[in-house]
């Protein structure tokens, strides 16, 4: 019986412990490393043979690897032989669809962690497709009628900041790259979000994905 090597990445110790316990219940899987940020995860992939990555969607990152969609995109492009399970609390269908397009094996909702991890591992061990038993996603953007008109309200500086943000950079990274203060970048990003009438980074990302902006 083949044993699959697993790496778990999450910045919450309790989640790491819980996922490790679930994985190690199945003798067909062996945990060979744990990471609390994206740099640690990539280092493990570079130094060990890994068959499966179970990673949180939102996790401390850096300007090289980031987290969220940027990290998952990096993983699927640079390690095509490694299967990826994503843990998240996000229900935004645009983000979930993008994760599927990037080639993740499955998206596991954290509020269904126990059941879904076990189900996913059994399917992986048998070579079967992994199906999620989580609740159907719900959109965070309700009214799309005038979103395009809102986008035209952005100033050139706000437009550039959003472009860099969607590429995966954080406020501090953008500030360094543009040689501005983090406070200035944060203020302009918040101003742009108000013009677009979105209230969170997830909403902003969903808007840009839906409109296929900055590609």
Q: Report how far residue 24's alpha carbon sits from residue 215's, in angstroms, rounded to the nearest whole number.
A: 41
15 with 109, same domain: the answer is yes
CA distances from 15 to 23, 33, 59, 149, 198 (A): 12, 14, 12, 42, 30
- The two beta strands, 29-35 and 4-9, are parallel
Tokens of 181: 């203060």
- Taking only the tens place, the pLDDT of each residue in 179-192 is 999 999 999 999 98
- Give me the sheet containing 83-88, strands edge to edge: 29-35, 4-9, 52-56, 83-88, 106-109
Residue 180 lies in a domain: yes
Question: Same structural domain for residues 181 and 120?
Answer: no
Structurally, the chain folds into a number of domains equal to: 2
Q: Tell me, what's the pLDDT at 130?
A: 75
Position 51 scores a pLDDT of 95
> Model confidence over 11-59: pLDDT tens digits?
888 889 999 999 999 999 999 999 999 999 999 999 999 999 999 988 8
Residue 131 belongs to a domain: no
Q: Are residues 117 and 152 in the same domain?
A: no
Q: Which tokens in the block code for residue 57?
A: 């969607």
* Residue environment code for 189-207, b if the CB has 16+ CB neighbours within 10 A, otherwise e: bebbbeebebeeebbbbbb
- Inside any domain, residue 56: yes
C-alpha angle 170/98/211, rounded to 5°? 75
Per DSSP, the three-state class of 84 is: strand
Measured CA to CA, the distance from residue 85 to residue 215 in angstroms comes to: 25
Looking at the structure, tell me whether residues 75 and 14 fall in a common domain: yes
Question: What's 41's domain CATH number?
Answer: 3.40.50.2300
pLDDT of 115: 80
pLDDT at 214: 66
Asked, for residue 135, whether it belongs to a domain, the answer is no
Range of the domain at 22: 4-126
In-domain check, residue 50 = yes
Dihedral sign for Cα atoms in the order 178, 182, 183, 185: positive
Are residue 158 and residue 99 in the same domain, yes or no?
no
91 and 12 part of one domain: yes
pLDDT of the chain, 215 residues: tens digit per residue: 578 999 999 988 888 999 999 999 999 999 999 999 999 999 999 999 999 999 998 887 666 787 888 889 899 999 999 999 999 887 766 677 778 888 899 898 888 888 888 888 888 888 777 765 444 444 444 445 466 677 788 898 998 898 888 777 788 889 988 999 999 999 999 998 888 877 777 777 777 766 666 65
In a domain, 160, yes or no: yes
């Amino acid at each position: 019986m083949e044993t699959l090597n697993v790496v778990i990445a999450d910045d919450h110790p309790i989640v790491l412990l819980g996922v490790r316990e679930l994985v190690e219940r199945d003798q067909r899987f062996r945990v060979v490393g744990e990471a609390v940020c994206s740099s640690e995860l990539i280092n493990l992939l570079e130094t060990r043979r890994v068959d499966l990555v179970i990673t949180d969607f939102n996790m401390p990152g850096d300007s090289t690897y980031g987290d969220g969609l940027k990290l998952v995109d990096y993983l699927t492009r640079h390690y095509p032989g490694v299967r990826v399970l994503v843990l998240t609390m996000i229900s935004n269908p645009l983000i979930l669809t993008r994760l599927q397009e990037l080639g993740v094996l499955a998206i596991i909702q954290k509020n269904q962690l126990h059941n879904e991890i076990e189900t996913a591992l059994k399917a992986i061990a048998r070579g079967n497709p992994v199906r999620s038993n989580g609740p159907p996603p719900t959109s965070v953007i309700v009214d799309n009628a005038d979103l395009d008109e809102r986008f035209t309200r952005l100033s050139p500086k706000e437009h550039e900041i959003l472009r860099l943000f969607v590429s995966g950079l954080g406020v501090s990274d953008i500030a360094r790259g543009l040689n501005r203060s983090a406070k200035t970048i944060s203020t302009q990003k918040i101003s742009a979000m108000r013009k677009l009438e979105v209230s969170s980074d997830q909403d902003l990302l969903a808007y840009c994905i839906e409109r296929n902006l900055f590609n």
